[in-house]
Amino acid sequence: MTRTTGGTPKARALGAELREARELVGKSLRALAQELDTNHVKLMRYETGKSVPPPEVVAAFVTALGVSATERDRLVEMARDADVPNWLTADRAGVRQELTALIEFERTATRITNVATGLVPGLLQTSDYARAVMRGRPVGEVEKLVLMRVGRREILSARNGPHLTAIISEHALREPIGGHAVMADQLRKVAELAEWSNIEVRVVASGSTSWHPGHVGPFVVFEFPKAQPIVHLEHYRSAAFLYNPGLAQEYLDAITTLLSFAMDHDESIGFIAKCANEMEAIA
Q: What is the average per-residue pLDDT within 259-272?
A: 98
Could you tell me if 120 and 232 lie in one domain?
Answer: yes
Could you tell me if 98 and 171 lie in one domain?
Answer: yes
Residue type, 220: V
Could you tell me if 171 and 249 lie in one domain?
Answer: yes
Could you tell me if 201 and 221 lie in one domain?
Answer: yes
Could you tell me if 95 and 213 lie in one domain?
Answer: yes
Could you tell me if 94 and 69 lie in one domain?
Answer: no
Q: Which helix (H) or strand (E) holds 94?
A: helix 92-108
Query: Nearest Cα to 85, choosing from 7, 3, 18, 1?
Result: 7
Could you tell me if 166 and 65 lie in one domain?
Answer: no
pLDDT in the model for residue 137: 84
Q: What is the count of structural domains for the chain?
A: 2
- Give a yes or no: residue 135 inside a domain: no
The more confident residue out of 115 and 144 is 115
* CATH number of the domain bearing residue 72: 1.10.260.40
Percent of the chain at pLDDT > 70 equals 96
- Give a yes or no: residue 268 inside a domain: yes
Q: What is the average per-residue pLDDT within 20-31?
A: 96
Could you tell me if 105 and 19 lie in one domain?
Answer: no
- Give a yes or no: residue 2 inside a domain: no
pLDDT tens digit string along 185-220? 999 999 999 999 999 999 999 999 999 999 999 999
Q: What is the average per-residue pLDDT within 54-60?
A: 96
Q: What is the average per-residue pLDDT within 72-100?
A: 86
Could you tell me if 49 and 177 lie in one domain?
Answer: no
Q: Which residues contact 276 (CB under 8 A, 6 or more apart)?
A: 184, 187, 188, 191
Q: What is the average per-residue pLDDT within 52-62?
A: 96
* Residue 2: pLDDT band with limits 50, 70, 90: very low
Percent of the chain at pLDDT > 90 equals 86
**Could you tell me the pTM of the whole model?**
0.89
Question: Average pLDDT over the chain, rounded to whole?
Answer: 94
Could you tell me if 179 and 239 lie in one domain?
Answer: yes
- Burial label, 95 (beta-carbon count in 10 A; 0-12, 13-18, 19+): middle
Q: Which of 79, 108, 137 is the last residue of a domain?
A: 79
Compute the distance between CA of residue 214 and CA of residue 11 in angstroms, rounded to an integer.
29
Could you tell me if 161 and 256 lie in one domain?
Answer: yes
Q: What is the average per-residue pLDDT within 84-112?
A: 86
pLDDT in the model for residue 1: 44
pLDDT tens digit string along 4-13? 467 899 999 9
Show the domain range for 49: 9-79
Could you tell me if 23 and 119 lie in one domain?
Answer: no
